[in-house]
Amino acid sequence: MVSRVHVVGIPGSLREGSYTRATVKIALEGAREAGASTEHIDLRECALPFCRGGGDEDLEGDVQGLRERVKRAHGIVLGTPEYHGSYSGVLKNALDLMGFDEFENKVIGLVGVSGGRMGAHSAMSHLREVGRALHAWVVPTQAGVPRAWDVFDDEALTLEDEDLAKRVKSVGAEVTRYAKLHSVENARAFLDAWAAAQPNPGAEDR
């Protein structure tokens, strides 16, 4: 079992005063309250090339640095604004520059913000698919902030809806709890045995 779960948060918005960034920070607060150490990865501070798919970008800019920071994490909170019914391109590019080494068997939590009333539901559903493709465990609880301009204080970037803030925090807490569970030796052994088991074990006895 790891001594302390480490959770990183990656908001997929580069906008100054981004509500997504503020939301990810709240989720990380929830992770800390659940006992994790946390790191906020601000993509504005990462020099990332576009993923070209050939691996020749591996040594460019901060690609290795980003990978190392995510590799160290047991859990990852991904935050996205809703852009045209999906998640943002900047987050997609960052994810495409990484892969199984950073995400496989890790625990992912999702938060999203939108200008409209749907609360980034589509964006988070699409991200859930990406998590599956990366063989990560995406926790069921997710938090969407609809009409973000209406519930955030623009100066302090605090989320004024307490219930919503609680839900956002619960994503960070759930990531921490499940990341911890994944690191427990017995739980790992159980998951490995389950993966190696014949389909529907015991069904022949019924």
Nearer to ligand FMN, 19 or 103 (CB): 19
Residues whose CB falls within 8 Å of the CB of residue 195, separated by 6 or more in sequence, listed in order? none
Q: Is 157 one of the binding residues for ligand FMN (CB under 6 A)?
A: no
| φ, ψ for residue 187, nearest 5 deg | -65, -40
Least distance between ligand FMN and beta carbon 95 (Å):
17
Q: Is 161 one of the binding residues for ligand FMN (CB under 6 A)?
A: no
> Site residues for ligand FMN, window 18-57 (CB under 6 A)?
18-20
Nearer to ligand FMN, 15 or 135 (CB): 15
> Site residues for ligand FMN, window 74-103 (CB under 6 A)?
81-85
Which of 16-24, 33-41, 174-182, 190-198 is the region at the interface with ligand FMN (rule: CB under 6 A)? 16-24
HSE, side-chain direction, 13 A CA sphere, residue 107: 24
Residues whose CB falls within 8 Å of the CB of residue 81, separated by 6 or more in sequence, listed in order? 12, 13, 15, 18, 19, 20, 87, 88, 112, 113, 114, 120, 123
The CA-atom distances, in angstroms, between 15 and each of 18, 84, 88, 168, 175 are 5, 16, 12, 20, 26
Indicate the burial class of 84 (C-beta count within 10 angstroms; 0-12, 13-18, 19 or more).
Answer: exposed
Which of 53-61, 95-103, 113-121, 135-143 is the region at the interface with ligand FMN (rule: CB under 6 A)? 113-121
Nearer to ligand FMN, 115 or 191 (CB): 115
The alpha helices in 5-154, defined as continuous H runs, are 19-33, 63-71, 89-96, 100-103, 121-133, 148-151
Nearer to ligand FMN, 84 or 206 (CB): 84
**Which pairs count as long-range contacts for 54-62, CB under 8 Å and 24+ apart, including other chains?**
57/97
Read off the amino acid at residue 102. E
Among 1, 2, 4, 15, binds ligand FMN (CB under 6 A): 15
Binding-site residue total for ligand FMN (CB under 6 A)?
16
Among 113, 124, 165, 173, binds ligand FMN (CB under 6 A): 113
Least distance between ligand FMN and beta carbon 57 (Å):
25
Nearer to ligand FMN, 122 or 176 (CB): 122
Q: Is 115 one of the binding residues for ligand FMN (CB under 6 A)?
A: yes
Residues within the interface to ligand FMN (CB under 6 A) = 13, 15, 18-20, 81-85, 113-116, 118, 148
